Structure 1
Amino acid sequence: MTTINGKDVRKLVIACDAGMGSSVMLAGQLRRALKKEQVVVEHTPVDSIPADADVVVCHTGLADRARRGAPGKVVVPFQVYLGDPAVDGVVTAIRDGGVLSA
């Protein structure tokens, strides 16, 4: 199982597929939530996840593709674009140093 301490996260990637804008809104929300942390929040297609990503956040339906495209990285799937507990857990772990796992 892949894990990372939230305090070690330097790049958080929001991976999407459809380009409908919801994931762009989530990326903006996470940038605001993490602006005091030294974390780059990037929005990218699920098939183009950068190799330097520490954590990938994506909709549950894209999680398998994200894992294939980012082997060895923590992939956090969520159900709802705004207000999902999984996404809130990522923010908390980065702020407080909690463990994130794949």
Structure 2
Amino acid sequence: MTYVIGSPCIDVKDRACVDECPVDCIYEGKRTLYIQPDECIDCGACEPVCPVEAIYYEADLPDGEQPYLRDNKRFFADILEGRDTPVGSPGGALKIPVIGTDTRFVKTHPAA
């Protein structure tokens, strides 16, 4: 199980969760943030600090947010536009620059 960032984060990216995460597993795309599921230790530190309540424990995702579980995994597994390789599991967001792109699912989400 892992935590997932859903639709309320799109075009907000407050980053309070990034500062709170003890394992640095929250990565920044262009319009939203993503939690690396293999790096997340399920501590839940990110959830209460999110001002838009966009972070959910995987098992507690509301029905309308279910696609974000698949999409979050896709962000790390697929080759994204503008990248030569998948993001994968770099071992911490501070080790790499801001990704600067998103999955097709997030790119096509209506602007806030």
TM-score, structure 1 length as denominator?
A: 0.33
Q: Which structure is higher in helix share?
A: 1
Q: Which structure is higher in strand share?
A: 1
Larger Rg: 2
TM-score, structure 2 length as denominator?
A: 0.31
